[in-house]
Amino acid sequence: MPIELDPEGHETKALLAYLGPLRGLRLLEIGCGDGRLTWRYARLAARVVGIDPHRGKIARARQDRPLKLRRKVTFQPLELEQYAEFWARRPRPRPFDRAILAWPLRQIPAEGMLYALKTIRSLLRPGGLLVDIHPTGDPPPIELLCDGQRHLLGYLQETDNFIEYGQADVALSKADKRGLFAPDWQGTYPFASYFDTAAALRQWLAEYWGDAIFDPAIEARQQALLADQPPASPPRVILREQVRITRLVAQ
Ligand SMILES: C[S@@+](CC[C@H](N)C(=O)[O-])C[C@H]1O[C@@H](n2cnc3c(N)ncnc32)[C@H](O)[C@@H]1O
């Protein structure tokens, strides 16, 4: 089976609730990647711009763009600062009503996070909303799901002990203190990623999660469990993250 990210749809449900009604609104999605989340809300808005410095992901997003969304959804292979410069040089730059920062804040160096939030503020109209999504700093458990039973295989670790998630929280609270944004709603939701095997998870981490530490004992435990009880249906290995979602109002 393919890798499944959040098949339960907890993230989509939370994102749509935090964004509120989108009819007639202009959205900027920062770090849109391959458009994974864009397709979940774009049809509801008037205009969507997705930006990401990863050219391959932007090419994929453009390729996947449904015909009926071609006029209202565009993607640019730019990072936030580059896009802000491009936007400011326009003859009549139109501010956005909503900005989405789904997972990239943790990838921005700590000293640049507040600056990034300041830049996002400059792209939004006063009263516009920013929705930030980033995981909590708890090491995510890895489970084996086998014939309806869940077995804990271990926990994912990071070389820097998930420090960037706490730094992202600090940056959001500094943005509040500096009068850039006022947080008005915060919560958490579970985000599960499903893989065929622990080896498939290990390979995915090597590609997408540079500072992840994957304990080889996790793979050994999976093999031992499956050897003990050969499953009747295909097993799945699940990485369970807890994600914080915050809505902030541009001041
Ligand atoms: C973990 S991925 C999430 C992608 C997408 N939001 C999703 O949820 O599937 C984070 C993305 O942020 C992008 N990113 C990192 N720094 C960025 C920056 N300064 N400006 C814009 N995007 C950035 C990365 O290239 C990456 O595609």
> Which of 20, 11, 10 has the alpha carbon at shortest distance from 185?
20
According to DSSP, the residues that pair with 191 across neighbouring strands are 241
According to DSSP, the residues that pair with 246 across neighbouring strands are 132, 186
Pair 211, 159: CB distance under 8 Å: yes
Task: Supply the CATH number for residue 20's domain.
Answer: 3.40.50.150
Q: pLDDT per position in the chain (251 positions), as tens?
A: 889 999 999 999 999 999 999 999 999 999 999 999 999 999 999 999 999 999 999 999 999 999 999 999 999 999 999 999 999 999 999 999 999 999 988 789 899 999 999 999 999 999 999 999 999 989 999 999 999 999 999 999 999 889 999 999 999 999 999 999 999 999 999 999 999 999 999 999 999 998 999 999 999 999 999 998 888 999 999 999 999 999 999 99
Strands of the chain, DSSP E: 4-5, 26-30, 47-51, 73-76, 96-102, 124-135, 141-146, 149-155, 157-158, 181-195, 212-213, 236-250
Number of domains in the chain: 1
| Binding site membership of 104 for ligand 1 (Cβ less than 6 Å) | yes
| Binding site membership of 191 for ligand 1 (Cβ less than 6 Å) | no
Domain that holds residue 26: 4-250
| Binding site membership of 53 for ligand 1 (Cβ less than 6 Å) | yes
Cα separation, 175 vs 166, whole angstroms: 14
Taking the centre of ligand 1 as the mean of its atom positions, its distance from the CA of residue 34, in whole angstroms, is 9
- pLDDT for residue 213: 95
Query: Could you identify the atom of ligand 1 that is nearest to the CA of residue 108?
Result: 16
| Binding site membership of 30 for ligand 1 (Cβ less than 6 Å) | yes
